[in-house]
Structure 1
Amino acid sequence: MSDSGSGWYDETLHKDVAQRLRMGRVLHRDRTGLQDLVIFENPVLGRVMALDGVVQTTEGDEFVYHEMLTHVPILAHGRVRRVLIVGGGDGGMLRRCLEHKAVERVTMVEIDRSVVDLSIAHLPSISAGAFDDPRTDLVIADGCAFVKNKGVKETAERFDVIIVDSTDPHGPGAVLFTEEFYADCKARLTPGGVMVTQNGVPFLQPGELKDSHRRLGRLFGDAGFFVAPVPSYYGGFMAFGWATDDAALRRQSAEAIRPRFEAAGLTTRYYTPDIHVASFALPAFMLDALK
């Protein structure tokens, strides 16, 4: 990880390849108690937040990631009232969920309060006031314990959509990729509910794709992936896990999705109903990895 000392930030998530981002002004850097966090400016990507040496979000391209992980499950479902976000401390996922006026409540469970506070202070355009929305229920707690209904804010509430906006499966984020966690999430879904997950870059992380597919497939009637290119997540397409017991939801046409999109009145920079449908068409190397 780290500032190389020459004005560049070296991300070394992957063993044999890396990316470098030029560091302009450093807005914040310290250990939060749970993670090493840095926020800095880059001439192309704007403000960048990295945790433990891995880029988490940037002002420049966050819209691709956040639009796809929210609008795809919400519009595919069509009747979403309650959403649970596990992680997502920068607030981008929360903001995009709240753009759906029919959504009555979004519960966001983030383990590290300082990530929320620093994002509001230094990356305000990403959350755009979402934490002040009366439909927001921010819970600072361990996401695994929350879905298991143990500890902080015990509740039997169920959700139409669960979004797992996690870090990669290393360190604190590893437990969010286990079959036990996925099973606990399923128990918190309403009938016909949808769970989506951040699932890495399959070209460089094929094992993560295979593991998630196997675990989700044992629990849900329909488990698969959709994809989108997020420039600051080096390595090509990013995969998003998809899991539900209603197999019809991901087989809808753009013509079926379009009226929902128009009724929602969304303004997007990446997502469209046609992109929604096309994102479930996986490249051959991913299909081969899933065999």
Structure 2
Amino acid sequence: MELEEFRLSLYQPGGLMGTIYAVDEVLYNSKSRYQHIMIVKLRGFGKTLVLDGLIQSTESDEHIYHEALVHPAMTVHPNPRRVLILGGGEGATLREVLRHSTVEKAVMIDIDEEVIEVSKKYLPEWHRGAFDDPRTELHIMDGFEYVKRASERGERFDVVIMDLTDPYGSDIAAQLYSRSAFELISRVLSSDGIVVTQAGCSTLFPDVFKRVYNAARQVFQHVREYAVWVPSFAYANSFIAMSNKYRIDSVSREEVDRRLAERGVKTRFYNGLRHIAMIGMAEMHIEIKA
């Protein structure tokens, strides 16, 4: 079949929505021990990482997703020095964490080494050398097994970022967003630490989102949703920030911009205005779900 005729059809779990993308070129297509990995060039979106038939990030808008995932929690924390990343195989989440001059160590845990190696080869625009940064510590293993061991060693992190598959993707994925999972993560969090997770789409999957949100509320004192529209996903991606000390809506637009400038963080999408807007978008979603 000619590539001009080839189409990539992606369907959300449960058959709620389908989107068809034109594929101009297939750069990589293989199945790892854990998942089906594709690197393709999508018309209008550029290079794209696809895992198990679902778009993870595209060249044209990955910065929107990754900046939205990383910077609200990193910016609200006054001095994030040690950061733990669960997932994020492309290296873009790591890239954004390392933009903050306060960071002394960033530990990234991903179970699928093939995703990382493929990303290093085909997606250099994503990681931009972050894997080679001296502050980076990379482990190929189950993220929650690492958290258990880190807890036993007494390790603590100022920010924990969960860049995992969607909570409605599979039974295994659902376990990663449970109360027990959040309790485990809380054991390696500093007393003033912040956890943030991507949480799929609260408007398309409100019941699943509410389960994740309520699980977080059983563990953390301050829990807040925020959201951002990601064009290649064709929906607004939801995030949940949780902490026992800080609220992501506790800083002003001006304070966000001041902290970014002070730390030398240069972004393409995120700033003080969009920080406030993403929280406002989530509030609108809550009203629709009510």
TM-score, normalised to structure 2, is 0.93
Matched, 1:243 2:242: yes
Is the Cα–Cα contact under 8 Å of residues 91 and 126 in structure 2 kept in the other structure? yes
User: Distance in 2 between the 1:247 and 1:132 partners?
Assistant: 31
Name the residue aligned to 2:181.
Answer: 181
Is the Cα–Cα contact under 8 Å of residues 200 and 208 in structure 1 kept in the other structure? no
Which one of 154, 157, 165 corresponds to residue 155 of structure 2? 157
Tell me which stretches of 4 or more aligned residues in structure 1 moved more than 4 Å: none
SS at match of 1:29: strand
Letter matched to residue 221 of structure 2: G
User: Distance in 1 between the 2:122 and 2:247 partners?
Assistant: 41
User: Distance in 2 between the 1:233 and 1:201 partners?
Assistant: 10
Name the residue aligned to 2:45.
Answer: 45
User: Distance in 1 between the 2:138 and 2:11 partners?
Assistant: 31
Can you list the C-alpha shifts for 1:78-135, whole angstroms capped at 9, x where unaligned?
A: 2100000000000000000011111000000000000000001111100000000010
1:227 Cα deviation (Å)?
A: 1.1
Name the residue aligned to 2:130.
Answer: 130
User: Distance in 2 between the 1:231 and 1:95 partners?
Assistant: 21
User: Distance in 1 between the 2:238 and 2:229 partners?
Assistant: 9
Letter matched to residue 207 of structure 1: D
After TM superposition, the structure 1 = structure 2 runs for residues 36-115 of structure 1, keeping only pairs within 5 Å, are: 36-115=36-115
Name the residue aligned to 2:165.
Answer: 167
Matched, 1:284 2:284: yes
Aligned residues, how many?
284
User: Distance in 2 between the 1:118 and 1:238 partners?
Assistant: 25
RMSD: 1.9
User: Distance in 2 between the 1:102 and 1:284 partners?
Assistant: 33
Is the Cα–Cα contact under 8 Å of residues 256 and 271 in structure 2 kept in the other structure? no
Percent identical = 32
Letter matched to residue 112 of structure 1: D
Name the residue aligned to 1:253.
Answer: 252
Letter matched to residue 18 of structure 1: G
User: Distance in 2 between the 1:240 and 1:160 partners?
Assistant: 18
User: Distance in 2 between the 1:16 and 1:168 partners?
Assistant: 15
SS at match of 1:148: helix
User: Distance in 2 between the 1:247 and 1:194 partners?
Assistant: 7
Letter matched to residue 228 of structure 2: A
Matched, 1:141 2:141: yes
What are structure 2's unaligned runs of at least 5 residues? none
User: Distance in 2 between the 1:178 and 1:5 partners?
Assistant: 43
1:146 Cα deviation (Å)?
A: 1.4
Name the residue aligned to 1:266.
Answer: 265
1:268 Cα deviation (Å)?
A: 1.2
User: Distance in 2 between the 1:158 and 1:234 partners?
Assistant: 37
SS at match of 2:114: helix
Aligned pair in 2 of structure 1 residues 224, 287: CA closer, same or farther (>3 Å)? farther
Aligned pair in 2 of structure 1 residues 238, 83: CA closer, same or farther (>3 Å)? same
SS at match of 1:196: strand
Name the residue aligned to 1:120.
Answer: 120
1:247 Cα deviation (Å)?
A: 4.3
Is the Cα–Cα contact under 8 Å of residues 4 and 23 in structure 2 kept in the other structure? no
Is the Cα–Cα contact under 8 Å of residues 90 and 119 in structure 1 kept in the other structure? yes
Is the Cα–Cα contact under 8 Å of residues 257 and 273 in structure 1 kept in the other structure? yes
User: Distance in 2 between the 1:249 and 1:275 partners?
Assistant: 12
Is the Cα–Cα contact under 8 Å of residues 199 and 209 in structure 2 kept in the other structure? yes
